[in-house]
Structure 1
Amino acid sequence: MRPRSYDVQSPGVTSVITLLTDYGLEDGFVATCHGVIISIAPEARIIDVCHLVPAGDIRRGAAILAQTLPYLPAGVHIAAVDPAAASARRSVAVEAGNRVFIGPDNGLLSWALLAAGGARVAYEITNADLFRTPVSPTFHGRDVYAPVAAHLCAGRKPADLGPEIPLERLLSLPAPTARLAEGAAEGEVLSVDRYGNVQLSVTADDLATLGIHVGDTLAVSMGRRQITVPFRDTYAAVPPGNLVAFTDSAALVAFAVNSGDASQRLGLPPGAHVRLARVGMA
């Protein structure tokens, strides 16, 4: 998918901290992070972006953060999705636009950094004076990210966090691919949400460029499988149990089953290749 630019340069609210994690809601992990932040920066406004990212799913976390970012006030954005949490991977703080992103250097932040206009400067988080101690090797969200974000809201500068890192040394996820070729849009599954909707890297504008509009029928190729899917304005435009393609709230093409699960129906995991054309043009 071609990187999308959003206007995230509006006046910032420096007391805002957002949280995106895979911690779930069954335990006290999220509340613990809230408590650490408030104990250091009592005036901080905390926005919970999502805590139900599938465990360790960096790609899903990256997609949620990047697609939510345009609607969040400027501030400090914590992202904690890390299947290698107990490893020696470093923690980073990255400035982009008038925002600071905090998280593991595992690619999780990379799509949001692009959405924010691109990273300007990055720091490795090493200043232990700003950590909660002792630091758990498996809970950096509580002991590193939360207190560091709170200290930033309380007036500390990102340069106080540790040494600067060359931007080219930050780990990045490969950008989702999408291209127009031979009358078709070729892309990949970007993510699958909790409803089983399958979001593609293909945009509604891509389809419009091909002359495909709401009301048409899509010829969908998924490897050796080929099916036809109606392209409608919402999943409710087809009877319950039927498959439909529509433009989702991120302006991306998605598959859904009305009152069902498209991911189970299609068996399309994130990264799977998909080709879309209008019936009669495939």
Structure 2
Amino acid sequence: MNPGIVTLTTDFGLEGPYVGAMKGILLGLAPGVAMVDVCHSITPQNVLEGAFVLEGIVTAFPEGTVHLAVVDPGVGTPRRLLAVKAAGQWFVLPDNGLITGVARANGVEAVWEITNHRLARRVISPTFHGRDVLAPAAAHLLKGGPPSELGAETSKYIMLRNFEPTPTEHGCIGEVIFRDAFGNLITNIKDDQLADRDAGGWIVEVGGRRIEGVTRTYGESVPGSLIALLGSSGWVEVAVVNGDAGRLLSAGPGTTVWLRPKF
């Protein structure tokens, strides 16, 4: 029986040996695994962006899938490594907030700290725990190994506070958390923030520009228009129809976004 599905999400890029090295460990320990590259172009060290990407793939994968995620600016420090079970799937990652989106949307069933180095590679580099510790842990779970062999169960894990916007009297202040390949700016403002009024009754401000109303789809506006709309996962995003909002606004992850009612 094949061991199942493993996904990989990292900030490694594809130019060097890093992604290939992790895949080699996974294939050696769990032959026949179905491997899915989710994203290797997370902005380096941007944990918030990685958390957004992970949250966006959960409902697309079956129970039992193992998600290996490495955006790890604290590699080699005493920060913890975790195996988290959520939505019937596994998330193997550093404890730095990467699990925030998944936990927020789905809850967490259980968490184990990865401390059993007998399951890791014989030599562990202090700068590549993704290859030497996390990939072997993911392979262990793929083969049906009990999570208790990874280490002790725990109830503690870090959550990022800025994954959610800050409420104001009538709206909220958020930020861009992801810029996609089209230049669309996905914010941390979810559809539930719009529940108080019709979508056309909101104003979105970003990069010094004011957008009136949240539209349903790109095609409702003429090419070149700067619009706000709800993306496929329920996040408010800012886009230029047939264009690049990030370039137009000189904006990206971390840019402040205001959501205000139209009085």
Given the two structures, how large is their TM-score scaled by the length of structure 1?
0.81
Does residue 114 of structure 1 match 2:104?
A: yes
Aligned to 2:117, which of 118, 128, 133?
128
Of 178, 187, 211, the residue aligned with 1:200 is 187
- Give the whole-Å Cα distance in 1 for the aligned partners of 2:12 and 2:69: 11
Alpha-carbon distance between aligned partners in 2 of 1:232 and 1:118, rounded to the nearest angstrom: 30
Q: SS at 2:199's partner residue? A: coil
* 1:80 aligned residue (55, 63, 70): 70
Q: Runs of 5+ in structure 1 lacking a partner?
A: 1-12
Q: CA offsets per residue over residues 196-230 of structure 1, 9 Å max, x none?
A: 211123344543641224xx8x533459x462346
For residues 121-171 of structure 1, what are the alpha-carbon distances to aligned partners after superposition, in whole Å with 9 as ceiling and x for unaligned? 222211111112211111111111111111222231110001222x2x311
User: Residues 226 and 261 of structure 1: is their aligned pair in 2 closer, same or farther, counting only changes over 3 Å?
Assistant: closer
TM-score (norm 2): 0.86
Question: Which of residues 200, 204, 212 is equivalent to 1:220?
Answer: 204
Equivalent residue, structure 1, for 2:79: 89
Q: RMSD over aligned Cα, in angstroms?
A: 2.6
1:271-282 pair list within 5 angstroms: 271=254, 272-277=256-261, 281-282=262-263
Check the 8 A contact 1:63/1:111 in 2, yes or no: yes
One of 15, 20, 27 as aligned partner of 2:16:
27
The sequence identity of aligned pairs, in percent, is 36
SS of 1:159's equivalent? helix
Measured after TM superposition, the shift of residue 275 of structure 1 is: 1.8
Structure 1 stretch displaced more, 155-164 or 26-35:
26-35
- Aligned equivalents of 1:259 and 1:121: distance in 2? 43
Counterparts of 1:159-198 in structure 2 under 5 Å? 159-165=148-154, 167=155, 169-174=156-161, 175-177=163-165, 179=167, 181-182=169-170, 184=171, 187-198=174-185
- Count of matched residue positions in the alignment of Structure 1 and Structure 2: 259
Cα distance, 1:187 vs. partner?
Answer: 4.0
Deviation at 1:267, TM superposition (A): 4.4
- Distance in structure 1 (CA, Å) of the matches to 2:23 and 2:144: 18
Question: 2:62 corresponds to which letter in structure 1?
Answer: P
Of 48-57 and 257-266, more deviation after overlay is shown by 257-266
Please list every run of 5 or more consecutive structure 2 residues that lacks an aligned counterpart in the other structure. Answer: none
Judged with a 3 Å threshold, the aligned counterparts in structure 2 of structure 1 residues 46 and 80 are, in CA distance, closer, same or farther, namely: same
Pick closer, same or farther for the CA change 1:243–1:136 going to 2, 3 Å: same
Report the 3-state secondary structure (helix = DSSP H, G, I; strand = E; otherwise coil) of the residue aligned with 2:82.
strand
Distance in 2, matches of 1:205 and 1:71, equals: 21
AA partner of residue 242 (structure 1): S
Partner secondary structure for residue 102 of structure 2: helix
Cα offsets for 1:229-277 (capped at 9, x unmatched): 4643333443443312222111222111134321233344445241243
Q: CA deviation at 1:86?
A: 3.0
Shift of 1:178: 6.1
Once residues 224 and 92 of structure 2 are traced to their aligned partners in structure 1, the CA distance between those partners, rounded to angstroms, is 41
The one-letter code of the counterpart of 2:258 is V
